[in-house]
């Protein structure tokens, strides 16, 4: 088991573990999240618990300030993404391992001992995850009663990527360049490709990791909401980031094939529509095939409305992949790093490393 709680990373004294919580306007659940993080951290002395807040306006930092944790806040004029929270969380952390969780999650305390032990025994593993329970909520934040268990495995399994909640080896993040701060869609997959390119692997363990509260996926209402907030072009920005890293082919093959099939089918429909000027047979065939696909999907979903909503969401991702890809390149190294430190955790050694100190550690690693 893990007994040495004071390790060294790049020649600097550091703790074993940091728990980085990323949040934006999570006043309803941030207190429970922090409580679960502190409970999970209690098994490991000198653990740093940190909230990276994306300029919340609902009182999230004030609620978090009631707890003895570090609070780092991004400035409202910056691009605010989940990737940015994890990026600056990496820079500000001073530990050998970092557990990233969203601010609307609850951590199962039994996850960390097994996950840390797995990483200790397997030095080429960059990160591990467990089972994530999704509790769906309505627009008022009330539970709908619908629960989905994601990422379930029967035994420790190597996987191509991890979700938003995962435990990472800090040195592996340093080597691969950590999260891209400009990404807000599949940013974990983009990081996973870079980690694997560097020679690391990622694993999923058959243990409960977190509870997560979220809106139901693939609903008509959620699809429209995401369109209005400009969510879908984020998919294209992630594709562009993998293209810039020379990893777009692997990203498409491993994570985007469903959308490639959808896009190809839509393009075929567009061609058949143009060809209808001369011959309507191709358009009729495409429409008939589309009807058959919709009926089959509706049977699987047990609802025509649900089938339409899911297909619409997939079409919108295809739209976002195309439009977002051409929005220009964004260099992660140009993302601002002068975050506001609202509060520092305790006075223990290594529990309140500033962002600048973490930045220097990563820049030193990149320079070597």
Distance, in Å, from the CA atom of 302 to the CA atom of 2, rounded to the nearest integer, reads: 48
DSSP characters over 316-354: HHHHHHHHHHTS----GGGS----EEEE---SSTTSS--
DSSP run (H or E) holding 23 = strand 12-23
DSSP characters over 81-107: -HHHHHHHHHHH--EEEEEEEETTEEE
Q: What is the pLDDT of residue 347?
A: 37
Classify residue 29: in a domain, yes or no. yes
Q: What is the pLDDT of residue 267?
A: 95
- For 352, phi then psi, to 5°, come to -140, 50
Contact 101, 37 (CB under 8 A): yes
Classify residue 121: in a domain, yes or no. yes
pLDDT tens across the length of the chain (368 residues)? 333 333 433 344 568 999 999 999 999 999 999 999 999 999 998 899 999 999 999 999 999 999 999 999 999 999 999 999 999 999 999 899 999 999 999 999 999 999 999 999 999 999 999 998 887 776 666 666 666 777 888 999 999 999 889 999 999 999 999 999 999 999 999 999 999 999 999 999 999 999 887 766 667 778 888 888 888 999 999 999 999 999 999 999 999 999 999 999 999 999 999 998 888 899 999 999 999 999 998 898 788 888 888 889 899 999 999 999 998 788 999 999 999 999 998 633 333 333 444 434 334 433 43
Contact 170, 93 (CB under 8 A): yes
Q: What is the pLDDT of residue 215?
A: 67
Contact 129, 167 (CB under 8 A): yes
DSSP category for residue 8: E
Classify residue 199: in a domain, yes or no. yes
127 and 137 fall within a common domain: yes
pLDDT in tens, 152-195: 889 999 999 998 899 999 999 999 999 999 999 999 999 999 99
87 and 169 fall within a common domain: yes
147-161 burial string, b = 16+ CB within 10 Å, else e? Answer: eeeebeeeeeeebeb
162 and 238 fall within a common domain: no
Q: What is the pLDDT of residue 147?
A: 67
Classify residue 274: in a domain, yes or no. yes
- For 313, phi then psi, to 5°, come to -60, -40
129 and 25 fall within a common domain: yes
Give a three-class secondary structure readout of 194-241. HHHHCCCEEEEEEEEEEEEEECCCCCHHHHHHHHHCCCCHHHHHHHHH
The structural domain count of the chain equals 2
Residue 78: which CATH number?
3.90.550.10
Which residues constitute the domain of residue 280?
Answer: 217-331
Classify residue 354: in a domain, yes or no. yes
Residue in 102, 125, 103 with CA at minimum distance from that of residue 115: 125
137 and 89 fall within a common domain: yes
pTM: 0.85
107 and 238 fall within a common domain: no
Classify residue 101: in a domain, yes or no. yes
Contact 314, 258 (CB under 8 A): yes
What's the token pair of residue 81? 């993404």
Q: What is the pLDDT of residue 276?
A: 87
142 and 285 fall within a common domain: no
28 and 101 fall within a common domain: yes
167 and 268 fall within a common domain: no
40 and 137 fall within a common domain: yes
107 and 197 fall within a common domain: yes
Q: Environment class of residue 277 by beta-carbon count within 10 Å: exposed (0-12), middle (13-18) or buried (19+)?
A: exposed
Contact 283, 276 (CB under 8 A): yes
Q: What is the pLDDT of residue 81?
A: 95
Q: In Å, how far from its chain's centre is CA 162?
A: 8
Classify residue 1: in a domain, yes or no. no
169 and 299 fall within a common domain: no
């Amino acid at each position: 088991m893990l007994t040495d709680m004071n390790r060294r990373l790049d020649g600097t004294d550091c703790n074993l573990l940091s728990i980085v919580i990323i949040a934006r306007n999570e006043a309803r659940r941030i207190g429970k999240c922090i409580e679960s993080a502190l409970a999970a951290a209690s098994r490991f002395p000198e653990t740093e618990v940190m909230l990276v807040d994306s300029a919340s306006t609902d009182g999230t930092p004030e609620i978090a300030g009631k707890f003895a944790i570090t609070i780092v806040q991004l400035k409202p004029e910056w691009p605010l993404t989940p990737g940015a929270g994890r990026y600056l969380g990496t820079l500000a952390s001073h530990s050998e391992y970092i557990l990233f969780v969203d601010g609307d999650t609850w951590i199962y305390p039994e996850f960390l001992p097994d996950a840390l032990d797995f990483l200790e025994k397997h030095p080429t593993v960059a990160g591990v995850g467990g089972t994530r329970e999704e509790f769906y909520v309505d627009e008022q934040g009330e539970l709908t009663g619908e629960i989905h268990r994601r990422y379930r495995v029967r035994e420790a399994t190597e996987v191509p990527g991890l979700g938003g909640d995962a435990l990472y080896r800090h040195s592996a993040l340093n080597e691969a360049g950590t999260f891209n701060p400009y990404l807000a869609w599949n940013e974990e997959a983009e990081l996973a490709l870079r980690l694997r390119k560097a020679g690391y692997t990622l694993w999923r363990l058959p243990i409960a990791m977190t509870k997560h509260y979220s809106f139901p996926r693939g609903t008509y209402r959620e699809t429209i909401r995401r369109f209005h907030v400009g969510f879908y072009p984020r998919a294209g920005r992630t594709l562009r980031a993998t293209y810039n890293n020379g990893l777009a082919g692997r990203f498409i093959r491993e994570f985007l094939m469903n959308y490639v099939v959808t896009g190809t089918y839509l393009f075929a429909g567009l061609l058949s529509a143009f060809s209808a000027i001369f011959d309507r047979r191709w358009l009729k065939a495409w429409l008939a095939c589309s009807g058959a696909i919709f009926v089959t999907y509706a049977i699987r979903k047990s609802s025509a409305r649900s089938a339409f909503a899911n297909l619409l969401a997939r079409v919108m991702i295809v739209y976002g992949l195309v439009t977002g890809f051409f929005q220009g390149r964004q260099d992660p190294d140009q993302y601002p790093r002068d975050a506001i430190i609202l509060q520092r955790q305790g006075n223990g050694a290594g529990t309140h490393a500033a962002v600048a100190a973490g930045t220097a550690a990563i820049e030193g690693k990149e320079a070597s």
